């Protein structure tokens, strides 16, 4: 087992630990674990090497980290996204909980930044992922939320508006690695305004998702 001088593959290996020597695990940063040998040497070991070692009782060492099973067995997803909401730019943060691998409960907060007005949109909904074990899978969803719009200060008209809204969604998601997903989504919103007509708004987003 090689001890490296820092937590990264580029750091030089400064020491090798022989078979059947015992080590102490100190801390973990991403995939690297800092260890101390019996004679006090410290260094960083990759998770993959450490997983092949045994505890004193003979059991394998379990180290937290992404495994291929995480693609279908994970519970939580957190996303950062950006896109277009009826002409306004979006900054979106969202989270999802997998009730089953193919059924998700989702919630998000979006900051809408347009040329004439700004706003906030918060939604909650559910989504169905058609093939959670495929590398790329389509999904559909529905949900509802609240939309607040505030006209820009340089314009002289209209007051703030807060309305409820509902959406239907269609998207595609693909695994980049055992911890990342890339998602593209289209949502069609209906905003239930206090005026005579409801408003329909199209939204397109791209989101980078971490799952665990």
Partner 1 sequence: MDRGLYLLLLTAWSAMATVPGSAHAQSTGEASALPAQQPQVVEPAVKRRDIEPAAIDTENFEAGAFVGTVSIEDFGSSLLYGARIAYHFSEDIFAEATVGSAKAGKTSYEDLSGAAELLTDSERQFTYYDLALGWNVLPGEVFFGGKRAMPSAVYVTLGAGSTNFAGDDHFTVALGAGLRVLANDWIAVHFDVRNHMFDSDLLGKSKLTQNLQASLGVTAFF
Residues lying near partner 1 in the complex (CB under 8 A): 5-11, 25-34, 55-57, 59, 61-64, 80, 82, 88-89, 91, 93, 111, 113, 115, 118, 152-154, 179-180, 208, 210
For partner 1, which is the closer residue by CB, 31 or 139? 31
Closest approach of Cβ 161 to partner 1, in Å?
A: 16
Minimum Å gap between C-beta 52 and partner 1 is 15
CB of 98 to partner 1, least distance (A): 19
Residue closer to partner 1 (CB basis): 159 or 197: 159
Contact 10, 19 (CB under 8 A): no
Residue 128 CB, nearest distance to partner 1 (Å)? 27
Question: Would you say 102 or 148 has its CB closer to partner 1?
Answer: 148
CB of 195 vs partner 1, minimal distance in Å: 24
Sign of the C-alpha dihedral, residues 183, 76, 94, 78? negative
The CA distance from 80 to 115, in Å, is 22
80 vs 206: CA distance, rounded Å: 9
Closest CB to partner 1 among residues 128, 179: 179
Minimum Å gap between C-beta 10 and partner 1 is 5
In the complex with partner 1, which residue's Cβ is closer, 88 or 169?
88
Whichever of 32 and 167 has its CB closer to partner 1, that residue is: 32
């Amino acid at each position: 087992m090689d001890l490296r001088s820092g937590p990264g593959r580029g750091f030089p290996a400064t020491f090798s630990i022989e078979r059947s020597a015992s080590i102490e695990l100190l801390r973990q940063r991403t995939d690297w674990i800092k260890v101390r040998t019996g004679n006090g040497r410290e260094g960083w070991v990759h998770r993959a090497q450490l997983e092949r070692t045994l505890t004193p009782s003979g059991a394998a060492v379990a180290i937290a980290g992404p495994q291929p099973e995480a693609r279908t067995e994970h519970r939580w997803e957190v996303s950062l996204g950006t896109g277009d909401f009826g002409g306004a730019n979006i900054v979106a943060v969202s989270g999802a909980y997998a009730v089953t691998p193919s059924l998700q409960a989702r919630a998000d907060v979006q900051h809408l930044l347009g040329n004439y007005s700004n706003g906030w949109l918060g939604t909650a909904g559910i989504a169905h992922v058609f093939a959670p074990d495929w590398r790329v899978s389509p999904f559909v969803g529905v949900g509802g939320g609240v939309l607040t719009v505030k006209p820009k200060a340089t314009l002289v008209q209209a007051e703030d508006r807060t309305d409820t809204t509902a959406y239907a969604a269609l998207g595609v998601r693909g695994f980049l690695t055992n911890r990342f997903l890339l998602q593209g989504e289209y949502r069609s919103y209906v905003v239930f305004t206090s005026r005579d007509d409801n408003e329909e708004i199209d939204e397109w987003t791209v989101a980078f998702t971490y799952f665990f």
